[in-house]
Amino acid sequence: MTTSQVPVDLHQHIQQEPDVSKLSFNKVVDLIRETYGERCIVGVVNFRDVNTRGLRDDRRYEDFTNLKGYKRQNYGDHINVGQVRIIKVQEIPAIHEGMEVHIICVGLKEEEHIEPRRNLLEVLSEIKRRNLISIIDHPFARAGIGRYLAKDKTLEKKVLSSVTGIELFNGLTERSFPFVGDGNSNKRTQEYFDSIKEEYPNLGAIVGTDGQSLKALRYASYSLLDIQTDEENFDLQLVQRLQKAIRKHRNIERDKRVPQSRYEMLKHIYGIISEEGIKHTLSRL
């Protein structure tokens, strides 16, 4: 069995808007190679939601991976361009106690999705039933579940026994910025993880960029995961091998952690307010 250290970033939106038709597939793949290396796994994130204007459909993974450009192989849940693997990710706005909390799901097939705005435990149950990867992203920032877990042991046990891992470092929330966080959310996540990791030995840790632009792709954050990379059946077993590697990864000291600029944060918040309005945005904090 061959194990290799592979850069993995499962939190790249590529841009703020779902419409990626104007992007150059080749340019994005070249940027990925420059940032992560020739062999890597990068998640392109769909954010399907229901907002004040109705359903906000998001097919950016499907649309991006079908743009014209370099030759690629399509496995349904990911594509290959050489040794660059781009995998489908959905960031799901679930509901707990009437508030929005985010969960990342990795490994859905093309055109599949998990419905947003449902009860948190129902969402996690569906992900587990499908044998997919679930990550608690930015737990102590905007739309994070961390504050609820820290005060409710019953909820904590149900959630942490179900998910694959926790995003210990999120590049977008590392700095203090209105609507995003106070700059201490990643620190609080690490402290929380340290307090519960012995009780949950199968709970992994991961780093993500939460990138909203091509510039963010240049300054990415990622984990270096030890993944079984035997070529036989590798792509057919990618989600299972990735899930196993995340569960074993419990220390992010060797991972690359890069705070996003405040300009990137401003663009992100401006995009949310433009879509939903200031009143609705404030109501979801």
* Whole-number pLDDT of residue 278: 62
Pairing between strand 3-12 and 99-106?
A: unpaired
For 228, phi and psi rounded to 5 degrees?
-65, 115
pTM of the model: 0.94
The C-alpha atoms of residue 263 and residue 105 are separated, in whole angstroms, by 27
Per-residue pLDDT reduced to its tens digit, 157-207:
999 999 999 999 999 999 887 767 778 999 999 999 999 999 999 999 999
Radius of gyration of the chain (CA): 17
Name 126's Cβ contacts closer than 8 Å, sequence gap at least 6.
Answer: 114
Per-residue pLDDT reduced to its tens digit, 248-281:
999 999 999 999 988 787 777 767 666 666 655 5
Q: What angle do CA 279, 169, 136 make, to 5 degrees?
A: 65
